Amino acid sequence: MKILGIESTCDETSVGIVEDGSIILASVTASSADLQEKYGGVVPEVAAREQVKVMIPVIREALEQAFAPQVDAIAAAYGPGLIGSLLIGVETSKALSLAWNKPLIGINHLIGHIYSNWLESNSKPEFPLLALVVSGGHTDLVLMADHGKYKLLGSTLDDAAGEAFDKVAKHLGLSYPGGPEIERVALHYAPFDHSRGKQGKPSVDRNLANFKFPRPMISSEDFDFSFSGLKTAVVNYINQLSDVRSQISVIAYEFQEAVVDVLTRKTITAAKKFSVKSIVVGGGVAANSLLRRRMLDVGEINKIKVYFPSVEFSVDNGAMIAAAAFHNFKKVSAQEFIADPSLHF
């Protein structure tokens, strides 16, 4: 079964055509990130205006890429996200479903991120599993007994992990989105490269790292997160410096260590408590190589298989929406299908 998935919850317009929830026949993404960079973040009106322009060309290109004159169903992410952006994806999916007389499926964007782990991989995650969704707007731990069975264990009480990356990057004078930028500059500060088992080449004085940032809620009994205090600690540290530029990479490095420490520790604690067979990670922050390395390491130590999507499918994409629709095939009528900006699990 070929499903066309539409993702337009934030600043991306992405369409994927996926066969049987796994094989990617097409994946086309248009992003207004360059435009948003000018403003240092996503301006909803700017995002939506771009999406209106590119939605149909992106769909057309995806159909051409897949050599698919026909698909079997249409899926769209209907929340959470920006209302203007969501409306464009949802209304377009209704029009396609009516015009082609094909079933329509509504997908929660966060569930889409989980299903990016079913794309293209030979081995599929086994249930019960624990999903860590780390994106620009969400940080959630979700227990899944099977396809379609989601139990939210915990969420961030304030900033999302990706949001903290974006805000700290902004204070360091780095561009938007901040996650990849923090990762890039942190690489210049390499006290010890565990993956290679040797000392890295620091470009700044290593003695500068005589500080550590806090790891909020790392040992709390629950599975909630909090990143706002960490962000404030970093901003306060930056504000008392006379010359930030010489310390950008060490601050980025220590901040990244703190976020990854919390995410890894809480995820593995939950995975052990609920005796899951696999852990899947999704959302833009899943692209982070330190998080990938640390999660894979703790998974191996605890004999729990850890899955990450490829970097391309960690960030927002239409293919994950199509994959989620295949495994959660619930038809919705065009009248019932409405965008929901504050949708949760």
The nearest distance, CB 315 to ligand KG4, in angstroms, is: 4
**DSSP-based helix, strand, coil % in the chain, nearest 5:** 45, 20, 35
Query: 29-33 long-range contacts, Cβ below 8 Å, gap at least 24?
Result: 29/58, 29/316, 29/317, 29/318, 30/54, 30/57, 30/58, 33/176, 33/177
Give whichever of 19 and 255 is closer to ligand KG4, judged by the CB atom: 255
In this complex, which beta carbon is closest to ligand KG4, that of residue 155 or of residue 274?
155
Please state the closest distance from residue 116 (CB atom) to Zn ion, in A. 9
Stretch that binds Zn ion, among 168-176, 236-244, 308-316, 326-334 (CB under 5 A): 308-316
DSSP string over 26-44: EEEEEE-HHHHHHHTS--H
Handedness of CA 211, 216, 221, 223 (dihedral sign): negative
Q: Cβ of residue 137: shortest distance to ligand KG4, in angstroms?
A: 5
Min. distance of Cβ 289 from ligand KG4 in angstroms? 7
| Cβ-proximal residues to 198 (8 Å cutoff; 6+ apart), any chain | 192
Q: Is the dihedral of CA 240, 159, 296, 17 positive or negative?
A: negative
Q: Which is nearer to Zn ion, 7 or 224 (CB)?
A: 7
Task: Give the N- to C-terminal CA distance of the chain in Å, as an integer.
Answer: 26
Among Zn ion, ligand KG4, none, partner that 178 touches (CB below 5 to 8 angstroms by kind): ligand KG4
From CA 157, how far away is CA 331, in angstroms rounded? 33
Q: What is the dihedral of CA 115, 120, 121, 125, to 10 degrees?
A: 20
How large is the greatest C-alpha to C-alpha distance in the chain, in angstroms?
A: 65
CB of 18 or CB of 285, closer to ligand KG4: 285
Query: How far, in Å, CA of 310 to CA of 316, rounded?
Result: 12
248 interface partner picked from ligand KG4, Zn ion, none, CB below 5 to 8 A per type: none
Taking the complex as a whole, the smallest distance from the CB of residue 109 to Zn ion amounts, in Å, to 6
CB-based contact 337:310 (threshold 8 Å): no
Nearer to Zn ion, 125 or 309 (CB): 309
CB nearer to ligand KG4: pick between 135 and 267: 135
* Subset of 92-131 contacting Zn ion (CB under 5 A): none
Which region among 61-69, 192-200, 239-247, 309-317 touches Zn ion (by CB under 5 A)? Answer: 309-317
Residue whose CB is less far from Zn ion, 36 or 135: 135
Residue partners of 239: CB distance under 8 A and separation at least 6: none
Choose, by CB under 5 A, the member of 117, 135, 226, 256 that binds Zn ion.
135
Residues of this chain that bind ligand KG4 (CB under 6 A): 10, 135-137, 162, 165-166, 177-180, 183, 283-285, 287-288, 315-316
- 36 near 107, Cβ under 8 Å? no
Q: How far is the CB of 163 from ligand KG4 (least distance, A)?
A: 6
d(CA 269, CA 253): 24
Nearer to ligand KG4, 102 or 213 (CB): 213
Q: Which of residues 311-340 bind Zn ion (CB under 5 A)?
A: 316
Task: Provide the minimum distance between the beta carbon of 173 and ligand KG4 in the complex, in angstroms, as a whole number.
Answer: 15
Shortest Å distance, C-beta 189 to ligand KG4: 15
Q: Give CA angle at 130 (124, 131), nearest 5°.
A: 80
Q: Number of residues in contact with Zn ion, rule: CB under 5 A?
A: 2
Q: Which does 183 bind (CB under 5 to 8 A by kind): ligand KG4, Zn ion, none?
A: ligand KG4
Binding site for Zn ion (CB under 5 A): 135, 316
